[in-house]
Structure 1
Amino acid sequence: MSTLEEYKRIWEQKENAGANQGTITQASLVKIIRNRVQQHTKSALNYFWASFTLQLIVYALLGHVMVKYGQSSRILYLAIAGILLYIPFTIVLLRKFKKLVTEKPVLQSNIDTSLYNYVFGQQALLRSFYHFKKLYEFLLIPSSCAIGVFLVFALYVPGGVHQHWWGAIITFLLSLASCIAAIYAENKKSFILPIKQLQTILDEFEQKD
């Protein structure tokens, strides 16, 4: 018997024993499911905080470049492009993060339906952001690496990319490969695994029907 089935059986027994006791147990059941969901989404929430912090650092660095080296129109435009590139990602990140944290079960007459909808909603939030993340990173990561390499070579390497294009290409490819490797590991830890774990909870509900 699954953990969910055990708690459900106890709740039904106590509900028959008395309305007040049933209400307390129902609240406990909701708390148990919320705790399980929070355990599974913890790594995703950690990703949100880490990603948001990283984006603030990117904005700060590009803002510094704009202020200090803005006399060069090429560098100025690249810094602005880098900032504009991250803004949509930051907006979606904050919206999904807020919903993931603040969403609570909406209790209905059928407690199973209420909790199922809550878990399904949490999983749907992770799925939708993960889908957006995968698509947007096809543009974000190569563009970010290209802008970063160009700015570094333009500011710190005499002759810039034009005189060291082989070095720039190698640096770009290494940066891209390291980002892809890091993103793959992060996606597995923060999205793929939590989504599967939430699906396990949903399967427990469906097995009882």
Structure 2
Amino acid sequence: MESFENIQNIWNTDTAKKDYQIIMDKDSLGRTILSRMKKERKILMEYFWASFAYQILIYAFMLHLFIRFWGDPETMLISLITILLYSPFTFIQLKKFKAFVNNHSSMDLSGNLQMQYMTLSEFFKFKKRFELISVPVSCFVIVFIIFRLSMIGRPEDNLIVAGSLFSIWILLFVISLFFENKKRFKDPLNQYKLLLREMES
């Protein structure tokens, strides 16, 4: 019969193996979560740079119109309003994405994951509210510019054409934003939720 000391040694060895396995499982889970976080971050950074470039183009074009039609109060006002409309969005976007990409050394993996999820969620809520205003205003500006540059008259003198163009642009924006929000925000947020559940389990 084995002595109590031998049995204890065997038990200690098995326990050590179990502890080692738990450590390895946690380490493997951490690497998997980091890999998936990098994937979602890449998707979001693609949106950030594309969106930022789009906003720069808007500012440049509106500034061009402002200078080109200097002395035309209506065109100058619309150009200025468009710049002022997008400025808060650009500021918030830069602020949120800077917070999103910064890893906080004082936080563990779970803390960084939670922080990124909250930052992305807050920006997405702001983006959806902003779009309720920016989409119709942008469509109005586009229609105005089409009429202004084509010299076909004023929108109020061609309401059917102006209304049709406005409706088409609204539809294009809605479709585009639906797919953009799904790919760049809803899907990543769902992935972050899954990762948080895995961290908690």
Larger RCO, structures 1/2 (Cα 8 Å, 6+ apart): 1
Paired-residue identity, %: 30
- Deviation per residue, 1:147-198 (Å, 9 max, x gap): 1211221231322212212111110110011001000000000000001111
Segments of 5+ residues of structure 2 without an aligned counterpart are 1-16
- Residue 13 (structure 1) aligned with residue 20 (structure 2): yes
Aligned mates of 2:85, 2:155 — CA distance in 1: 22
CA 1:12–1:151 in structure 2 vs 1: closer, same or farther (change >3 Å)?
Answer: farther
Q: Which residue pairs with 1:4 in the alignment?
A: none
Answer yes or no: is 1:50 the counterpart of 2:50: yes
CA distance in structure 2 between the aligned counterparts of 1:196 and 1:29, rounded to whole angstroms:
18
After the TM superposition, which residues 99-178 of structure 1 pair with which residues of structure 2 at under 5 Å, given as runs?
99-107=99-107, 114-178=108-172
Residues 204 and 30 of structure 1: CA distance in aligned 2, closer, same or farther (over 3 Å): closer
CA distance in 1, matches of 2:110, 2:68: 54
Output the aligned Cα RMSD: 2.4
**Structure 1 residue runs without a partner (length 5+):** 1-9, 17-21, 108-113
Aligned 8 A contact 1:105 1:115 in 2: no
**Which piece of structure 1 moves more, 147-156 or 51-60?**
147-156
Q: Secondary structure of the equivalent of 1:158?
A: coil
**TM-score of the two chains, using structure 1 as the length reference:** 0.80
Is 1:106–1:118's contact at 8 Å kept on the other side of the alignment? no
Q: How far apart in 2 are the matches of 1:95 and 1:51? A: 14
Q: Does structure 2 conserve the Cα–Cα contact (< 8 Å) formed by 1:116 and 1:205?
A: yes
Q: In the aligned structure 2, how far is the partner of 1:154 from the partner of 1:178?
A: 21
Kindly name which structure, 1 or 2, has the bigger radius of gyration based on alpha carbons. Answer: 2
| CA distance in structure 2 between the aligned counterparts of 1:12 and 1:95, rounded to whole angstroms | 42
TM-score scaled by length of structure 2: 0.83
| Secondary structure in structure 2 of the residue aligned to 1:70 | coil
Residue pairs, 1:52-131, within 5 angstroms: 52-107=52-107, 114-131=108-125
Q: Give the aligned residue type for 1:153.
A: F
